Amino acid sequence: MTLRNFRRQADAVRSIPLETVLTHWGAERDRRDRAQWRTERGPLSVTGAKFYNWYRNEGGGGAIDLVMHLGEMDAATAIRWLRQHLGSARAAASSTSACWQASSSSFSCGDAQTPLRGLRLPLANLAKLERVRRYLTEQRHVAASILEPLIDAGKVYADQRGNAVFLMVAGKPNRAIGAELRGTGARVWRGLAPGTSKDDGYFWIGVPGSQKIVLCESAIDAISCFQLHSTCICISTAGVRPDPPWLLPLIARGYHIYCGFDDDAPGNAASRQMITRHPSIQRLGPPDHDWNDALAANR
């Protein structure tokens, strides 16, 4: 990155309100003193664009300094975090949603451009990101080389409860239409962000120029499948779905599509239904119960 581009990006995010940054970070505002915030690094005092951490005797001014302080990161990483979370000072002033914008690519699932009404994506919490990272790499065996680009692109993040959030998108600009959620604690839990419209889009990972698509039952399975078959595009159907509305347009574009649903009764039944409706689709069952089990067994 040139110095000129660095300064341009810094100028775009520097004046984001500190309150907006703290809210997205997952900090809690003191109910008795609105200038005080509780953070993972201790209580902060905020006055306009200035902040100070009395426990650590550290302070600064502006959104970049604040993110550098909260995340113990350098300026370039802080700018990237602000761009991914809030876009720019102007965008942050007009919207306080926690949507992380996914990076654009030439692969898309539709042409809809307008945001979904009623969608409430979970607030991102960078303090809980390491928990999600450990869960996916240690318990789910996802390679760091595959996970980190997803995190950097905002397609995977942590919410305030430490759940893993997998962004579902639609359209060429990859606008958010929802998210798959997966618990990272002892209790097995999965769900969708409120207002998610899984008929409009999906979580995906892969090589944008590939003509091969594998359909999987979950985002974790899609990531696992891609780790095992790195030359394809892997899509999550967010459940066993034999005929999601976005499937036919993909077939019409000439993609070679494979049904990679779980090797169990529901997965095999849905696969047969899908292939009956769309004979060009072929079955590519995981070599274990599901793709994540196959990934674990392949270690």
Q: Which DSSP letter does residue 13 get?
A: H
Report the C-alpha gap between 168 and 102 in whole angstroms.
9
Q: pLDDT tens string for the chain (299 positions)? A: 577 777 888 888 888 899 888 887 778 888 888 889 988 888 999 988 899 998 888 999 999 999 999 888 888 888 888 887 776 554 444 433 333 333 334 465 543 334 455 788 888 888 889 999 999 999 999 999 999 999 888 899 999 889 999 999 986 556 788 999 999 988 778 899 999 988 999 999 998 889 999 999 999 999 999 999 999 999 999 999 999 999 999 999 999 999 999 999 999 999 999 999 999 999 999 999 999 999 999 87
E strand residue ranges, the chain: 28-29, 36-39, 42-47, 50-53, 58-61, 156-158, 164-170, 175-182, 190-192, 204-206, 212-216, 233-236, 256-259, 282-283
Question: What angle, 0 to 180 degrees and rounded to 10, lies between the N-to-C axes of helices 219-228 and 144-152?
Answer: 130
For residue 174, the model assigns a pLDDT of 67
Q: Which CATH class is domain 126-297?
A: alpha beta
Supply the pLDDT for residue 111.
Answer: 39
Q: Residue 13: what pLDDT? A: 85
Q: Do domains 3-94 and 126-297 have the same CATH topology?
A: no
Name the token pair of 34: 């609105």
Q: Give the span between the Cα atoms of 48 and 54, in whole angstroms.
A: 17
Q: Which CATH class is domain 3-94?
A: alpha beta
If DSSP states are collapsed to H, E and C, what string results for 49-94?
CEEEECCCCEEEECHHHHHHHHHCCCHHHHHHHHHHHHCCHHHHHH
Number of H helices, E strands in the chain: 11, 14
Question: What tokens does 37 get?
Answer: 């915030």
Domain boundaries, the chain: 3-94, 126-297
